[in-house]
Structure 1
Amino acid sequence: MSHSPSTILVVEDDAIVRMLIVDVLEELEFQVLEAADAGEALAFVKSTNQVIDLMMTDVGLPDMDGKALATKVRELRPTLPILFASGYAENIDVPAGMQVIAKPFSIDQLRDKVKAMLPA
């Protein structure tokens, strides 16, 4: 019996970019939750019956930056892997269990990064 697909929460305020990321992840057979800002993302995270295996968030969000969001998310789900998407080439420092992918990224880069971060 195959295990159910992993669920990825995508937090991205740019609707077109978010749609592209969601399309890619769905093609890779992930379940995807979409949030346009940190508030929407936290609503998913606070929902105790909502499975989330990984959160991918843009660093720049309108209501709260991605790192502040990640801090709040980790208070609620301490083990959740978090992937930051950043348009800035310089390395942002991220806590343990979090990684960064530089924008723009290829489909292959996204797939490899997500698969590497998900529990086997």
Structure 2
Amino acid sequence: MARILLAEDEDSLRVLVARALMQDGHEVVQNCDGAAALDTLSRDQGRYDLLLTDIRMPIMDGIALALAAGRDYPALPILLMTGYADQRERASGLEMLIHDVITKPFTLATICGAVREALAAPKKLH
């Protein structure tokens, strides 16, 4: 179905989300932090249908990753995930850049639904 770049520093959650998305028919490329995800995105020349990233990660957080991805690949839909209210507030000014912020903890049905919705949404014009 879709090619998804997943950035999440919590190993068990990253594997769980990737598995659920793959069972939903998607190809998932996993990274453990924003810097690695940005390297992957650049190496693959932005050829992804969606960027799904945690906000709070070491090295480069999801906000910085979203800003860089949005600058370099403006048509790439971006979904953020966070378990922290203050991190969700940091994303509040990025409505033109991101599709949505998913609050942790979430069910696998919720994250798969959010991904389907983001993939089906009209592309944002920056």
How does the TM-score come out when normalised to structure 2? 0.84
Unaligned runs of 5+ in 2: 122-126
Instruction: Give unpaired runs (5+ residues) of structure 1.
Output: none
Q: Distance in 1 between matches of 2:65 and 2:97?
A: 15
Give the TM-score normalised by structure 1. Answer: 0.88
- Poorly superposed stretches of 4+, deviation over 6 Å: none
How far is the alpha carbon of 1:97 from its aligned partner?
Answer: 4.4
Do 2:70 and 2:97's aligned partners in 1 also have CA atoms closer than 8 Å?
Answer: no
Q: Is the CA contact (8 Å cut-off) linking 2:46 and 2:73 kept in structure 1?
A: no
**Larger relative helix fraction:** 2
After superposition, the CA RMSD in angstroms is 1.7
* Cα distance in 1 between the residues matched to 2:74 and 2:33: 20
Residues 26 and 48 (structure 1), Cα distance of their counterparts in 2 relative to 1, 3 Å cut: closer
1:1-120 alignment, distance < 5 Å = 5-49=1-45, 51-89=47-85, 91-92=88-89, 93=92, 94-98=94-98, 99-119=100-120
Q: Secondary structure at the match of 2:101?
A: strand
State the aligned residue count. Answer: 116
